[in-house]
């Protein structure tokens, strides 16, 4: 969550119950200029705690640790590191000390590890650095966020191993009106979007004016972009067999993780057969694209398609959340 003194806010910590208090008192907590850990505990039942829960609307019955920091005051800028990971389409890990009983290693001490293996640290003891780096390498391999306890010279330190993943890249082949809600929804959830055509047209830029998209023509440079993406996705919606067949031929030989074909299943079978393939030959190919959500409008169709892409990326089958057993989780938050 990012917050300015003018109370401009981007992102969030919770579903709304903690933000008001952070906006009102965040800069007061940081009056000394050093990172500060504050804890919101909605599990307590004493009178003072109940009053606090009522005043802030805490109803989640959990405990949330929030590390407050002023950007630009530390030797390592986590936001810059995240930006670098996104632009390079590489994973990374940010290891941040958020609680420490060792006075020589305070909250806000940090180590970063990039996908290329480059590690940088600030405020980390030499002895603790090797142990944190070992955990960071494990987090990079697992691509999972976790909390670890590290022995230090004067005590112990709790460290958030935050896995940083580059955003998925969606390549929409086709620029008709029904492609716009797909591109808009994908961008809204943080994906990079590329609108791909055989020939670049000015009308396409106008049609997708509401989307911060990359515009590309089908060719070697586009194929290279797909193969160098961490999570490449593709959707064929040219509404033209020749154009979709050309794009499908390229995609089948690419590193694309998802290849969706808009239209009937019979059309998907025909396009694959034209290339000497069976529809069932490649698990990445989804024809017709989308999940059965009961939608009819272009916007509802876009929701079903993006939902299927998300499910394919996470290898999730998509049952109702209510059907899952309660499991602990760690929310990745950039402060």
pLDDT digits (tens, 9 = 90+) for 84-99: 999 999 999 999 999 9
**pTM of the complete model:** 0.82
For the chain, the domain total comes to 3
DSSP 254: S
State mean pLDDT over 133-162.
93
Determine how β-strand 285-286 pairs with β-strand 214-217.
Answer: unpaired
Is the pLDDT at 324 greater than 60? The verdict is no
Domain shared by 159 and 174, yes or no: no
308, 177: one domain: yes
pLDDT at residue 58, rounded to an integer: 57
Say yes or no: 86 and 23 in one domain.
Answer: no
- Has residue 138 been placed in a domain? yes
- Whether 255 and 185 share a structural domain: yes
Model confidence band, residue 165 (pLDDT cutoffs 50, 70, 90): very high
**Mean predicted confidence (pLDDT) in 282-294:** 93
Domain ends where: 68, 91, 120?
Answer: 68
Does residue 319 sit within a domain?
Answer: no
Instruction: Kindly state the tokens that stand for 312.
Output: 């394919």
Q: What local confidence, expressed as pLDDT, does residue 57 receive?
A: 53
> 197: helix, coil or strand?
strand
pLDDT of residue 215: 94
Residue 332's pLDDT is what?
44
Given this model, what pLDDT does residue 288 score?
93
Least confident of 41-45, 76-80, 195-199: 41-45
Strand bridging mode 110-114 / 119-122: antiparallel
Prior bond of 288 cis (ω within 30°): yes
On whether residue 323 sits in a domain, the answer given is: no
Tell me phi and psi for residue 271, to 5 degrees.
-65, -40
Rounded distance, CA 168 to CA 190, Å? 8
Do 128 and 186 lie in one domain? The reply is no
Give pLDDT, residue 322: 58
CA distance 311 to 316: 5
Q: Are residues 133 and 62 in the same domain?
A: no
Residue 293 in this model has a pLDDT that exceeds 50: yes
- CA pair distance 171, 183, nearest whole angstrom: 9
Q: Judge whether 198 and 178 are in contact, CB under 8 Å.
A: no
**Res. 331: pLDDT tops 70:** no
Average confidence (pLDDT) over 11-25: 84
Last residue of a domain, one of 39, 68, 97: 68
| Same domain, yes or no: 177 and 304 | yes
Domain boundary among 68, 93, 122: 68
Q: Give the residue-averaged pLDDT of 112-139.
A: 94
Can you tell me the mean pLDDT for 133-152?
94
pLDDT bracket for residue 49 (50, 70, 90): low
Q: Report helix, strand or coil for 280.
A: helix
Q: Are residues 192 and 247 in the same domain?
A: yes
- Residue 63 pairs in a beta bridge with 41
- For residue 114, the enclosing domain spans 78-164
Give domain status of residue 329, yes or no: no
Q: Is residue 327 part of a domain?
A: no
Res. 62 pLDDT band, cuts 50 70 90:
confident
Query: How would you label 173-204 residue by residue, b for 16+ Cβ within 10 Å and e otherwise?
Result: bbbeeebbbbbbbbbeeebbbbbbbbeeeeeb
pLDDT at 73: 79
40 and 131 co-located in one domain: no
| pLDDT value at 46 more than 70 | no
Report the CATH number that the domain containing residue 199 is assigned in CATH.
3.40.50.720
Claim to verify: residue 186 and residue 258 sit in the same structural domain: yes
Residue 321 lies in a domain: no
**Per the domain annotation, does 127 fall within a domain?**
yes
Please check the confidence at residue 50 and state whether its pLDDT lies above 90.
Answer: no
Residue 98 domain-assigned?
A: yes
135 and 48 in one domain?
no
* 271 and 187 belong to one structural domain: yes
């Amino acid at each position: 969550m990012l917050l300015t003194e003018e109370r401009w806010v981007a992102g969030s910590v919770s579903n709304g119950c903690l933000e008001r208090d952070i906006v009102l008192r965040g800069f007061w907590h940081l009056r000394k200029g050093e990172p500060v850990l504050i804890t919101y505990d909605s599990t307590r039942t004493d009178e003072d705690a109940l009053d606090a829960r009522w005043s802030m609307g805490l109803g989640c019955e959990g405990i949330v640790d929030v590390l407050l920091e002023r950007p630009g005051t530390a030797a390592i800028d986590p936001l810059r590191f995240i930006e670098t990971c996104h632009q390079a389409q590489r994973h990374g890990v940010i290891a941040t000390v958020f609680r420490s009983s060792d006075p020589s290693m305070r909250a806000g001490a940090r180590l970063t590890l990039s996908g290329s293996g480059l590690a940088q640290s600030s405020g980390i003891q030499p002895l603790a650095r090797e142990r944190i780096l070992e955990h960071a390498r494990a987090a990079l391999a697992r691509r999972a966020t976790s909390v670890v306890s590290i022995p230090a010279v004067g005590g112990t330190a709790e460290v958030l191993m935050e896995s940083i993943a580059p955003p998925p890249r969606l390549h929409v082949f086709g620029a008709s009106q029904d492609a716009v809600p797909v591109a808009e929804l994908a961008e809204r959830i943080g994906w990079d979007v590329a609108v791909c055509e055989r020939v670049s047209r000015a009308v396409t830029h106008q049609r997708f004016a509401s989307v911060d998209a990359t515009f590309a023509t089908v060719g070697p440079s586009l194929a290279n972009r797909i193969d160098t993406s961490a999570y490449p996705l593709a959707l064929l919606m040219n509404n033209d067999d020749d154009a979709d067949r050309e794009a499908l031929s390229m995609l089948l030989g690419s590193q694309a993780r998802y290849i969706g074909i808009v239209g009937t299943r019979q059309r998907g079978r025909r396009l694959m057969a034209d290339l000497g393939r069976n529809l069932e030959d490649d698990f990445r190919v989804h024809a017709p694209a989308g999940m059965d959500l009961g939608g009819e409008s272009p916007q509802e169709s876009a929701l079903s398609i993006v939902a299927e892409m998300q499910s394919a990326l996470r290898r999730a089958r998509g049952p109702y959340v209510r059907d899952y057993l309660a499991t602990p989780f760690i929310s990745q938050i950039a402060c």
